[in-house]
Structures are given as structure tokens and as C-alpha cells.
Amino acid sequence: MITFLTGILLGILLATAGVLAFDIFGEEVSYTLVPNVVIAISAVIALYIHQSSVKHQKEEREWDIRKDILIQLSATLAHLTEETRKLCENSYADMSQIPEEQHRDIDFSHLKSFSKKLIECLHAYRPLLSTDLISALEAYKVRDREIENSVDIGEYNHAEAYEELITEQENLQLLISNQIKKFANL
């Protein structure tokens, strides 16, 4: 805003200097033309301010629409990542033959909650979300199935699969965070 005001003041100073230069060097300047030029410049500035206001209002509406969806998706993914970390730790504990009593408790409701949010985003909220986010969600869903199939055929053990899932979840979380920053104008 300060640069905009500085530009306006500089423009007024240059316009005044131009009028004075014409006057000093003997050119005929009609002083009835000056108010018309000032009015025209003011109209252009008012148009710019109006367009900036309309753009800002549009961005605010887009953020209001997407805010709940993105924040809920981010929160459920954060909970899922934490539970996946616990599963990974428990898998390593099993491989180290640590007793079951020392395993961390897992809340599988976060998996169900994230799966529900993922389906909602891919189907119900699809028109409201960016194509980058939709592509990332679809890629995550495919990668999740690939990792699950790799465990089934023996390519990965459970701990390796959970580590791979954590990486995928962190990448998706980063993308969602960037989308939130973009739409919230942070």
C-alpha cells in the first residue's frame, strides 16, 4: 500500500513538473485541460482500487469455501500419520521380540476418519479443490494400495510398509499445508 501511495505522489509530482516545463518553455498550455487530465487519472486509480477490491473479495470467498475442507483433511491426515508411526514402532518392537505389553496403543478410528475424508474430497468436494490437490490425493490412494499389495506378496515387511506410508503421508501433508497457505494468503 505504501508503494502504491508513493507511486501516486510521484505521478502527481511528475505531472506538475511536466505542466511547469511546458509553461516555462513557452508552450501554450490550456489550464482547463489540467482538471480533465486529473479527473481521468483519478478514474484510472479508482478503477484499479475497485478491481483490487473485487479480486480480494473473490479470494476471501474461495478461502471461506475451502477452509473447513482443507483444515479437516489436514487434521485427519496428521492423526493418521501419528497412528502410522505407532504401528511402525510396534512392528519394529515385534521384530525385536519386545513383549506386547510394551507396544503403543493404536486408535484405528483415525484410519477410518481419513478414508472417509479422502472419499469426500475425491468425490463431493472435487470441484472446490485445486487440481494439484486432487491429483495428489488420487496418487496417495494408488500408492497406499501399492504398498498394501507389496506387503501381501512379501516385497515389504510391515515396518518397511509403514515407513513408506509415513513418507507418503508427510508429502501429502506438506501439499495440503501449502494449499492452506495459498488460499489463506499467508
The predicted structure's pLDDT at residue 29: 60
The predicted structure's pLDDT at residue 33: 66
Question: How far apart, in whole angstroms, are the C-alpha atoms of residue 11 and residue 45?
Answer: 11
Task: Please report which helix (H) or strand (E) contains residue 18, including its range.
Answer: helix 2-24
pTM: 0.72
The predicted structure's pLDDT at residue 26: 60
Burial 120-155 (b: 16+ CB within 10 A, else e): ebeeebeeebeeebbebbeebeebbeebeeeeeeee
Among 68, 78, 101, smallest CA distance to 169 is for 78
Among 174, 186, 184, smallest CA distance to 74 is for 174
pLDDT tens per residue, range 131-159: 999 999 999 999 999 999 988 888 888 88
User: How far does Cα 19 stand from its chain's mean position?
Assistant: 48
